[in-house]
Structure formats: C-alpha cells, structure tokens
Amino acid sequence: MTAALPVQVLVASGAAYNLLAVAGAIRFQRLQAPVTSYRPPVSILKPVRGRDLGFYEAIRSHAVQDYPEFELLFGVADLSDPAVADIQRLQQEYPHILIRIVETQNDAPNRKAGSLEILAREARYSVLLVNDGDITVPQGYLSHVLGYLHDESVGLVTCLYRGRGESLPAAAEALGIGTEFAPSVLVARLLSSAGFALGSTMAFRRRELDASGGFHGIREYLADDYQLGARISALGKRIEMAAMVVETNLGAGSLAEVWRHQVRWSRTIRISRPGGYLGYVVTHATFWCLVAALAGQWEFALAGLAIRLAAAASALGALGASQAGLAFVPFRDLVGFAVWCTGLFGNTVEWRTDRFRLLRDGRMAKLPHAK
C-alpha cells in the first residue's frame, strides 16, 4: 500500500491536470472576438525556406483575405529557393495584392529572426503580423486577429493551431499537437493571465516591437516566439489568445525527422521555462496510469485514463480537429513521455541542416558540421 501511494498521487495529479484541460477547452470554445470596426493596414511577414507540402495553399489563404489593406512580404535567403516559384505564382494570380519577395540572407544564429529583422525594416505599415510559412488560415483571419489590437492594453495577439500530417510519423506529431501541446496551452491560459506567443500567429504594433528590442534582440534565441511574447509582456502589455484556430502542415516527415523535431521542441521549452518543463512530469497521465496498472491498481489506472481521453477529446474538439485518432492517444502519450525524458538531457538541437548548442539563457551557438 505504501509503495502504491506515490503512484496514486501521480495518477491523481495527472487527472487533475486533465480536468483543468477540459475546463480550458470549454473556456476557449466560449471565447468571442471583440466587436470592433478596427481594421488597421497590416504588413504580413513570412520568412520561408524551401517548399513544404501545401505551401501554395497556405500562402494563398492569406492572399484571399477579405480585408481593406494589407501587404505580404516573403523573406528568402536566396532567389533560387523553390518557394519563390509559388510566391511568383501568387503575385500573378492576385495582382491587386501587394506581394513582395525580399532577399533576407543573414548571419543570425536564428536565421528566421534575422529574416524577420530585415522584413520588418521593409514593411510599410505600423501593424505587423508574423506566422510560419506552412500556416493555413481561415477566411476572416485578419479581421478577427487584428480586431484585438483596438485595445491599447493588448500588446500581442496569438492563435492556437492544429496539425496535419501526410505520413504516419507526421500524423502522430499532429495528434500530439492536439492532445498534448494544446491542452498545456489551454491550462496555462486558464491559470495565468500572462500568456505567451505562438509562432503560428503573432500580431503586434511596431512601437511595441521596437520598445521590446526588436527582432535584433532575439536573433540569438531558438525560441524566438517565446522571447518576443515575453518581452512585449514585460512592457506591461497583455498577450491575447484569439478565438480562432489556424492549421500547420507538418508534411510527410520520416520517424527520424519527426523525432529530431520533437526533441528540439522539448529542449527549447526546457531552456526557456525550466521550472515549467520539470512540472510537466505530472501531465504525462498515461504513463502514470500504466505504472499504476503494473502495480495492480487497475481501477485507479482506468479512471485516470478515462479522464485523460476526455481531455484529449475536448482539446481536439476545441481545435476543430478530427477525433479519428483518439484511440491512438495512449500510444502517442507514451512516445511523448519518451520525448520529454530525452529533452531533460543534452543541449544540442538540429534545425534543418544546422546543429546548435543551447546556452542556459536560451541563446544558441552554431556548431560546425561533422566531417
């Protein structure tokens, strides 16, 4: 009985976390966009590298927005990038939209932040919106997201996102986004008003960007979205979560590619929020339910697993994602626990073709390629 007690505590803690995730999902679904006619001209900054699956559909979803005035700026390291052909196609199909290709070759450790620094200088408007190249947005996205900035106390607006994978490993990663990552964001928003920014959408005024140190100040950090959100929040501004979900296409990555991406993500979170990362141990409810079952605590384990699946279903519902993979959540959870354990150790990450060493303050140093 004494040996079983710590396991029961961990299962109970995981169940409590998942009940909070259910509450967070319900709260998110009840969010409403502000009723406002605020429609500022906006510069959409999109650093891109390579042509991912669904890239054209993703960028086209921005060009077809019914919004009074906006421009699309794409940053590429060189004009031979395969993405340029799709951007040029977009320019031809939507000549009435100001769409520019900007060469943003730079020597920043975080080349995405370096690209954004250049794009921000090229942008003509005082309101900026940043999202990743693989993000597809629904109609009404710009009006919805930018409407929050009518409130001067809001410094940045961000969006939750769901994933779509074209291979089995990528589909598993998408399931993890919906059932592991999204619940963690929903619980954080439920318990704290501080919030943090997600790279799926970051909309803000240029004056807050400049006051926070600009993109130049985060060019050495891997978690550029977290850093930008934290710095704007430090100005006394709120980070607002929009009542809208966007979608990321995770492509058709192999198991090795998905594993490297997940480990990079985990180590980034650990470096950015070490206390919070260690606290995630109680969120891995499926693992503790498995331990409880192996210890003979079957009723306790089954109750904990039922609550975990309810939280996963609630999160997928809040994201508007398919529930088809719900039966695979326990297996994905165990992989997620393995990723979390791996993320506890090591300070190197791989990002596309580069390797970096993470420093204690979240900055990164590029490592030479192995010979």
Taking the CA atoms of 156, 162, 168 and 169 in sequence, report the sign of the dihedral they define: positive
Q: What is the mean pLDDT of residues 55-79?
A: 95
* CA–CA distance, 185 with 190 (Å, rounded to integer): 9
Look at residue 369 in the predicted model and tell me its pLDDT: 58
Which is more confident, 277 or 143?
Answer: 143
Closest CA to 209 of 201, 217, 220, 197: 217
Chain segment 204-230, per-residue pLDDT in tens: 999 999 999 999 999 988 888 989 999
- Separation CA 153–CA 193 (nearest Å): 13
Asked whether the predicted pLDDT for residue 3 surpasses 60, the reply is: no
For residues 364 and 322, which has the higher predicted lDDT (pLDDT)? 322
**What's residue 2's pLDDT?**
44
Residues paired with 45 in a beta bridge: 73, 130
Q: Does the 33-254 domain belong in CATH 1.20.1050.10?
A: no
If you ran DSSP here, which 8-state letter would residue 221 be given? B
Report how many helices (DSSP H) and strands (DSSP E) the chain contains, helices first. 14, 11
Whether residue 36 is predicted with pLDDT greater than 60 in this model: the reply is yes
> Token match 């699956």: residue?
53
Query: Which sequence spans correspond to the domains of the chain?
Result: 4-27+267-361, 33-254
The residue among 20 and 222 whose pLDDT is bigger is: 20
Mean pLDDT score, 310-320 = 96
pLDDT at 59: 96
Determine the pLDDT at residue 194.
67
Give pLDDT tens digits for 252-268: 888 988 888 888 888 88
Do 129 and 205 meet the contact criterion of CB atoms below 8 Å apart?
Answer: no
